Structure 1
Amino acid sequence: MGRNMEWAGRADHLGGLPRKTVIMAVGTFAKAVAILLNSTSVHNADTLLRLVRSRPPGVPLITVSNHMSTLDDPVMWGFKGFPTCDANLQRWVLAAEDICFKNTVFSYFFRLGKCIPITRGGGIYQEHMSEALDLLSTGEWLHTFPEGKVYQEDEPIRRLKWGTASLISRAPVTPIVLPIIHHGFEKVMPEKYMFGRRPPFPLWNRDIKITVGEPIEFDIAELKQRALSNSRNLSPFPSLGWPPIERMDEAAQRCLYIDISERIRTVMERLRAFGTKPKV
């Protein structure tokens, strides 16, 4: 049967009841942590709500955020007014295979929760990136943590992994890309709390601040042309064995993914700086 269990992630699996049950339970937990146990404020929530509920038909949405704890997803969607318990509107998310898919029970649970297994270090053309692309091609919402791992220090956004950029450029319809920055989850679920380990349950009486940006627009055709031109000036580098895409060899793809990733990182860092400014 395998641990990846793609069949369990389908909307029609057992009539959709297991998915609805898991997402309702997890959504209830998220709202309890975000609203009852802690104080959560969201800047520009209306933009996120509008794009989740009523973006143009067939147009996919990719949200990207920093990654400050193992609770970021799902609790970042638990704020007041967000349809956290609606299985149809809930996001798909790229999840670390070694954590969320390490045994059969975990695999089934996280598949029902609309998670896609990603092998860290497995490259941008690994098997389940195609699954993510298939979802984007049908206009779904996908969330990614492009930094690639949890960072609890309040420091500038790190260099982004190229997986998100590759999905943006390869999707049949260019996704709406929405940046989100949050602070406070590192206090709700600190990595080193007791004996250098995470606490067994979320902490409370913390302030969570979520800042939603505006959509980042990408002219993919223009960016591909620029990447083709810039790649001619690149010094030779060890090949990663990437397949050619359209007229783009590996060098051109690298230029494209670096360009897209840096645009996203710049916007995320601007949001991060905005979110840390004292409010007057």
Structure 2
Amino acid sequence: MERTMEWAARAGHMRGIPRKLVFTAVGAFAKAVASLMNSTYVHNADTLIRLVRSRPPGVPLITVSNHMSTLDDPVMWGFKGFPSSDSKLARWVLAAEDICFKNAVYSYFFRLGKCIPITRGGGIYQEHMNEAIERLSDGAWLHTFPEGKVTQEDASIRRLKWGTASLIVRAPVTPIVLPIVHHGFQEVMPEKFIFGRRPPVPLCYKKINIFIGEPIEFDVPQLKQMAISQSHNGSFPRVGWPTTSDGLDEAAQRCLYSKISEHIQGVMESLRVFGKSFLKLPV
């Protein structure tokens, strides 16, 4: 499978000028929506900024968050003090192919914006997941929405898709995982505003709250051994995944990805409850 406009995502494409222009413009838009049009409060912002700017060389970062609107990314990076216009520090992000890459113009723009197209339902072994692993191999920052789709219900974190867990396991250097939970984007860009559609522009005078947790570190070798032993007692459906180079068959992989996803989901849910209590809202 050929990768969609991969050439436009390269840092050296036209000396990086188009990418810098996109991040300058989109960064300014994110700042305007988050800091001028609306009020944004960020808990533990220093942890995110530190990991983006100065984590150990070669160590990748994966941030994970809930997904409340089509504006979550890039606006969630528009808070005061965050380098949202710096194209070198900026995140890569997994983006829905059917929304962000539906024509050549969109594809080029989102590729310049360091977006990696993902086919929803295409599985963890689709070609663009390999591209995400390559970016992690470079020590880059990758953001994912592991719930898999936008939900504007004020509810518990849903069961996570296994794609993020597979990236954590398959990356040559185990990434630092940073959970983020936010609230308020559903009011800035409601899915059903006028005649069941989104508003043409972001709404103003809303409150956005972003709660950044503490880094999660996974002992992947130990988790693999546990998965191998526990997978013999489980009944995971099989679809023909290949055995990995370190000997994990499909049952062990499914057990491993399930355990990691459940752990991340639990941490995100605890962060969501903390945010609710901080804002004194009903859980």
In structure 2, C-alpha distance between the alignment counterparts of 1:247 and 1:256, rounded to whole Å: 13
Say if 2:195 is the partner of 1:214: no
What is the identity percentage for the equivalent residue pairs of Structure 1 and Structure 2? 73
Alignment of 1:181 onto 2:167: no
Contact 2:189–2:203 (CA under 8 A) maintained in structure 1: yes
User: Deviation string for 1:120-167 (max 9, x for gaps)?
Assistant: 000011010000000000100000000000010010000000000000
1:194 and 1:278 map into 2 onto residues whose CA distance is 32
Q: Structure 2: which amino acid aligns with 1:60?
A: P
Instruction: Tell whether 2:256 aligns with 1:256.
Output: yes
Q: Please list, as runs of the form range in 1=range in 2, the aligned pairs for 1:166-205 lying within 5 A after superposition.
A: 166-205=166-205
Normalised by the length of structure 1, the TM-score is 0.98
| Unaligned 5+ runs, structure 1 | none
Kindly provide the amino acid, as one letter, of the partner of residue 48 in structure 1. L
2:144 corresponds to 1:144: yes
| Letter aligned with residue 76 of structure 1 | M
Pair 1:86 & 2:83 matched: no
Shift of 1:34: 0.1
After superposition, the C-alpha distances for 1:198-218 in whole angstroms (9 at most, x for unaligned) are 000100000000000000110
Distance 1:24 1:18 in 2: 10
Q: Distance in 2 between matches of 1:132 and 1:94?
A: 8
Task: Supply the AA of the counterpart residue of 1:242.
Answer: W
Superposed CA deviations along residues 48-92 of structure 1, whole A, max 9, x for unmatched, are: 000000000000000000000000000000000000000000000
| Residue of structure 1 equivalent to 2:41 | 41
Distance in 2 (alpha carbons) for counterparts of 1:108 and 1:45: 31
Letter in 2 for 1:183: H
Cα distance in 1 between the residues matched to 2:209 and 2:279: 12
Quote how far apart the aligned CAs of 1:235 are.
2.6
Residues 65-76 of structure 1 aligned to structure 2 (within 5 Å): 65-76=65-76
Code of the residue aligned with 2:158 in structure 1: it is R
Kept in 2: contact 1:3–1:104 (CA 8 A): no
The alpha-carbon deviation at position 234 of structure 1 amounts to 1.7
Please give the residue correspondences for 1:40-119 in structure 2 after superposition, counting only pairs within 5 Å.
Answer: 40-119=40-119
Matched, 1:153 2:132: no
Which of structure 1's runs of 4+ aligned residues deviate more than 6 A? none
* AA in 1 matched with 2:212: V
CA RMSD of aligned residues (A): 1.1
The answer to whether the 8 A contact 2:236-2:254 is kept is no
Q: For 2:63, what is the secondary structure of its paired residue?
A: strand
- Displacement of 1:243: 1.1
For residue 244 of structure 1, what is the aligned residue in structure 2?
243
Contact 2:3 2:127 in 1 (8 A): no
In 2, the alpha carbon distance for the partners of 1:253 and 1:105 equals: 37
Residues in 2 aligned to 1:46 and 1:250: alpha-carbon distance in whole angstroms? 39
Gaps of at least 5 residues in structure 2 are none
After superposition, the Cα gap between the structure-2 partners of 1:34 and 1:251, relative to the gap in structure 1 and judged at 3 Å, is same
CA distance 1:148–1:236, change in 2 (3 Å): closer
Taking structure 1 as reference, are residues 159 and 124 closer, same or farther at Cα in structure 2, changes over 3 Å only?
same
What is the Cα deviation at residue 103 of structure 1? 0.3
Instruction: Name the residue aligned to 1:271.
Output: 271
Aligned residues: 278
